[in-house]
Amino acid sequence: MNTLSFAAGNSSEPLSILVLASATFLATGRYKLPAWQFRHFNSNRWLAWINISRTTIPEEKIAFFGDEAA
């Protein structure tokens, strides 16, 4: 309601809008930051689950390690 009142031109409580925006930013940042930090782990876990890659070695570098026949 404070946001609608502020958008309508009633600027009697700009502090409440600032507090609401700050709280929203902190609440979303609390979940976005850990998700961004663990993006490589989650990607590797997904690849292992769907059985494409069980290691973290990139496909273009596998040739350096040989194959199963060697």
φ/ψ bin of 9: left (φ > 0), alpha (ψ from -120 to 50), beta (otherwise): left
Q: Spell out the long-range contacts of 51-60 with Cβ–Cβ below 8 A and sequence spacing 24 or more.
A: none
Give pTM, 2 decimals. Answer: 0.41
Judge residue 30's burial from the number of C-beta atoms within 10 Å of its C-beta, 0-12 exposed, 13-18 middle, 19 or more buried.
exposed
pLDDT single digits (tens) 6-25: 666 666 677 777 888 888 88
Q: What is the pLDDT of residue 55?
A: 64
Domain borders along the chain are 1-37, 38-70
